[in-house]
Chains A and B, each alone.
Chain A
């Protein structure tokens, strides 16, 4: 479980220290204060070899012509600037350091022992210069490339050295080396972008195999009584969907369900997939009706506890905070497992966290005081 996080020069944060994460942590605050950036920072740390991280990075960097300013706080091309994402995971300190390198040469990369490329599902071994240049979309192996060099450490031991190539090269992740040992599975989910029938089908199929699907299905049925049953359908390895019996003559694919049901199902099926890890969720509860939010939170929290999965989620919703409080007030729930952290920008350079434990949050909610 993530206990603490420090960010230096990452996106909007010159420096940020958050020290009171719990198994179910909600992040709040005004727009653009950096809530989602905290999720992406944790994701970068935890997902060093997950292709999805490269996709995220590529998507983000392509969206902005000034990508460096987006990722590096106070970036200037003439000054060296290093991002540092520090994490304490179950008492163990680790960090990832990210530096901008505008002069990476394909040949030099190759000479240094570049081996794997992600998100290629079948990583190549050693690439020849011609192929590497082609991979990068360049004509010459001597051409300078822009890259972010990312190095992961556990304690003082370096675990990974990865280049995150940037436009005009084809965005992607090139692994110089990577040793096992760092945590841990994670998933980053954005609102209304959670329609992942393939992953849902794989996850539910795995749960069916080990006899653990019924519990997830019962949570879904309790939240959405019109859903009578869920069945995974794998059409080919890694591909498929989940069919929902909603009382119609034929079951419907989950992509046809409402946003709330898809939200709940995706979260519920993602958690077992990242057992022991951390689920990072932007705008938790988006699309869920207020009347079932407490039950929704309770189901998510119970499932997360079963799979030893930490939830870190952003929200702007007073109703969700209230629902979370109500959910953790139920028998069998541990009050200490709920934390709400509001971020306040007190100056262009400074964002300060305010931590609400269960009791403090309850006092604010019972008085109808603003905490967002």
Chain B
């Protein structure tokens, strides 16, 4: 029987879900950092309610570096404010800005709001940015999205509407990346597993700021 997950390392990175966990694990490898424990918080809506429990887990008192990675969704500033509030509500000092490591106090804390601490969006946008312009599947995925845009209603589906109803994808960035993944010679269904399979060029300049942030936080 597997033991429950405990905080066993002094460097902790909180990710929104399993995709982010696998992606970040691979990204850390590219900068030769292997002593960070990544915990999947279980979804974007789970961060606020789960964070007090994370701080109560065995081992949290030993954490000296804490990273928090969230998707901006509709507004990066609002997501940052929400994370900062969670930190202060639990007795931790919150960095004023995303992408900046707070070096005073213990633990040292850094917040990254996907894709780049400024834009609305999510990790899929960052991965999209990292796809080479020369990759023909990129254009195919864009054409597919264009086709969907012409064929489907571009408004929010009414409540209770069937999942198969003819409405444009709620999360266009995710849909576009899924279309790209579907076009791989060996298709991948998940962004995180795709990272493990080497689909994303994690040394691409699109990831440079995030790599630098993680290196500053965890080195």
Contact = CB atoms under 8 A, between A and B. Distances in A.
A318 B4 CA distance: 9
Given A344-B58, A344-B61, A368 B50 contact: no
A354 B4 contact: no
Contacts of A359: 49
B156 interface: no
Nearest to A367: B42
Contacts of A354: 56
B58 A368 contact: no
Contact of A368 (B5, B49, B52, B59): B5
Interface string A352-372: 101110011001100111111
Given A318-B4, A369-B4, A370-B3, A364 B49 contact: no
A47 to B, nearest CB: 32
Nearest to B7: A370
A346 interface: yes
A315 to B, nearest CB: 14
B6 interface: yes
Interface residues of B, number: 17
Contact of B5 (A360, A367, A372): A367
Contacts of B7: 370
B91 to A, nearest CB: 12
A369 B6 contact: yes
B33 interface: no
Contact of A369 (B2, B52, B53, B61): B53
Contacts of A202: none
Interface string B44-80: 0000011011101111010000000000000000000
A363 B3 CA distance: 16
B72 to A, nearest CB: 24
A346 B59 CA distance: 10
Contacts of A344: 58, 61
Nearest to A354: B56
A370 B4 contact: yes
Given A369-B4, A370-B3, A363 B57 contact: no
Nearest to B54: A369
Contacts of A372: 4, 58
B14 to A, nearest CB: 12
B49 A369 contact: no
B57 A364 contact: yes
Interface string B1-32: 01111110000000000000000000000000
A363 B53 contact: yes
Nearest to A346: B61
Given A360-B52, A363-B49, A363-B50, A371 B5 contact: no
A135 to B, nearest CB: 49
A354 B58 CA distance: 9
A35 interface: no
A318 B2 CA distance: 12
Contacts of A355: 56
Which of A318, A342, A368, A370 is the most central at the interface, judged by chain B CB atoms within 10 Å of its CB?
A: A370
A352 B56 CA distance: 11
Q: Which of B4, B5, B6, B42 is the most central at the interface, judged by chain A CB atoms within 10 Å of its CB?
A: B4
Contacts of B5: 367-370
Given A318-B4, A344-B61, A363-B49, A371 B56 contact: yes
Interface centre among B2, B5, B7, by most A CB within 10 Å?
A: B5
Contacts of A352: 61
Nearest to B55: A354
A370 B49 contact: no
Given A318-B4, A363-B49, A370 B58 contact: yes
B6 to A, nearest CB: 4
A293 to B, nearest CB: 15
Interface string B138-161: 000000000000000000000000
Contacts of A368: 2, 4-5
A325 to B, nearest CB: 13
A221 to B, nearest CB: 30
A367 B15 CA distance: 14
B53 A364 contact: yes
The 3 closest A-B pairs by CB, nearest first: A370-B6, A370-B4, A363-B53
Interface of B: 2-7, 42, 49-50, 52-54, 56-59, 61
Given A355-B56, A370-B3, A372-B4, 5 more contacts: A352-B61, A360-B56, A368-B4, A369-B4, A372-B58
9 contacts: A346-B61, A355-B56, A359-B49, A360-B52, A363-B50, A364-B53, A368-B5, A369-B6, A371-B58
